[in-house]
Amino acid sequence: MKRILFGASLALAMLTACAPQQKKEVLTESGLNPENFVTTTENGKTTALYTLKNAAGVEVCITNFGGRIVTLLVPDKNGDMKDVVLGFDNVKDYQTIPSDFGALIGRYANRIGYGKITIDGETIQLPINNTVHTLHGGPKGWQYAVFDAVQEGDNKLTLTLTSPDGDNNFPGTVNAKVVYTLTEDNAIDIDYTATTDKKTVINMTDHSYFNLNANSAEATMDNILYVNSDSITPIDATFATTGEMMAVEGTPFDFRTPAPLTDRVTADDNEQVKFGKGIDHNFVLKTKGDDTQLAAKLVSPVTGISLEVYTNEPGIQVYTGNFLDGTVKGKNGVTYPQRAAVCLETQKYPDTPNKPQWPSAFLEPGQTYHSHCVFKFGVEK
């Protein structure tokens, strides 16, 4: 009898060993399943999720689909790790739900008026995708491109893209490279470079939607904002820049002294706030291209999390999530309401190609475009 039982046990053990083993999901600290970001696109490129970490436990998850920052875990005032960006938990939603969540924007961040640029006397019509303007590179901007990715160690990711001549009707074959580095002092250093074989325009940025309250189900306008700026570039009712500079003094756009966003974004008696449905404006920075000077700072009174922004760019677009409308579900099935986040987009001024009085966005063969942005996180108790 013992021999029979032993034989049965041995057979069962052999069958168990030969049976297919269920693969254990290995999730990121933020709870993402990397397998949900793997797919092959129509042009044969593969998407994936890349995770950067530092010794302090900060984690940044980035997908090469659109160069998007998907999650960003930073410590709050109690030392608890909080995800402070909006996004989706799978690549399919990024592909099928129109959004700029966490995206690497190119060729041209922000609006180009009426989709027209003139290069060496030739007027080029770009595709219109925002009322009567071209926004964020057009309907198929780089936020929907698949970048080639190389990760070096735990803290560095390099994304590259070759954008062909005529991409969204922009001239020139452009080779772009973006390097994300997570530093040990809890900063994300983003370094952009690009070259072209024809004269073109370039203006790249990161479009992360920051919710420093770490509660994306609610508006985050209690956050306190500082911007190192005396003026904005005002817009008209279509969001086109007028070409003027408007002093912030005495307006809802005066953040030279840190102030909550709350009342500023609903100040409809101000024409600019009314045009922007809140704040959706480019601030002219006083930093003069010095990326060691503080350009902007956002602080959550709830979590104590602070975000400092440094850049070599002349402007920063502050956008208060005015067009979020409660219809999009993001990570963990959370529906994002209006003003659930703040975007701080370092860049050239909007419609710069048509405003010769502003810092140039033109790039010629033999030149190298370079933009630098640092998002540095801290805690204020």
Residue 92 burial class via C-beta count within 10 angstroms: exposed 0-12, middle 13-18, buried 19 and up:
middle
Mean pLDDT computed over every residue of the chain:
94
- Percent of the chain residues topping a pLDDT of 70: 93
- Give the pLDDT band of residue 24 (cuts 50, 70, 90): low
Nearest-CA neighbor of 105 among 172, 42, 155, 161? 161
- Give the pLDDT band of residue 29 (cuts 50, 70, 90): very high
30 pLDDT more than 90: yes
- Tell me, what's the pLDDT at 376? 98
271 pLDDT more than 90: yes
- Tell me, what's the pLDDT at 43? 85
Task: Measure the CA–CA gap between 43 and 46, rounded to whole angstroms.
Answer: 9
166 CB contacts (<8 Å, ≥6 apart)? none
Domain ranges of the chain: 34-379
- Tell me, what's the pLDDT at 13? 46
Give pLDDT tens digits for 316-332: 999 999 999 999 999 99
Give pLDDT tens digits for 353-379: 999 999 999 999 999 999 999 999 999
87 CB contacts (<8 Å, ≥6 apart)? 68, 69, 70, 71, 94, 101, 102, 209, 330, 331
Q: Which residues of 174-196 are buried (b: 16+ CB within 10 A; e: fewer)?
A: bebbbbbbbeeebbbbbbbbbbb
Bridge partners of 232, per DSSP, are: 246, 283
Q: Which residues of 365-375 are buried (b: 16+ CB within 10 A; e: fewer)?
A: eeeebebbbbb
Q: Are 127 and 201 in contact (CB under 8 A)?
A: no
- Tell me, what's the pLDDT at 307? 98
- Give the pLDDT band of residue 1 (cuts 50, 70, 90): very low
31 CB contacts (<8 Å, ≥6 apart)? 71, 89, 331, 332
Q: What is the number of other CB atoms lying within 10 angstroms of the CB of residue 271?
A: 13
Give the predicted TM-score (pTM) of the model: 0.93
- The set of catalytic residues is 207, 345
Q: What average pLDDT does range 221-237 have in this prediction?
A: 98
- Tell me, what's the pLDDT at 190? 98
- Give the pLDDT band of residue 381 (cuts 50, 70, 90): confident
Assigned token pair, 160: 């590259």
10 pLDDT more than 50: no
280 pLDDT more than 60: yes
Instruction: Domain 34-379: give its CATH architecture.
Output: Distorted Sandwich (2.70)
Assigned token pair, 235: 């817009």
18 pLDDT more than 80: no
Give pLDDT tens digits for 106-153: 999 999 999 999 999 999 999 999 999 999 999 999 999 999 999 999
Give pLDDT tens digits for 62-116: 999 999 999 999 999 999 999 999 999 999 999 999 999 999 999 999 999 999 9
